[in-house]
Amino acid sequence: MAHHKDLTITILEEEDRLSFGELCRACDVSAEYVIQLVDEGLIEPSGQEPTRWSFSANAVRRVQAARRLQQDMEINLPGIALALDLLDEVRELRDRIRALEQRYEDR
Q: Are 26 and 60 in contact (CB under 8 A)?
A: yes
Q: What is the pLDDT of residue 80?
A: 96
* pLDDT tens track for 54-103: 999 999 999 999 999 999 999 999 999 999 999 999 999 999 999 999 99
Q: What is the pLDDT of residue 2?
A: 65
Whether 10 shows a pLDDT value over 90: the answer reads: no
Answer whether CATH 1.10.1660.10 is correct for domain 17-106. Answer: yes
pLDDT band at 14 (very low <50, low <70, confident <90, very high): low
CB atoms within 10 A of CB 49: 8
Whether 13 shows a pLDDT value over 60: the answer reads: no
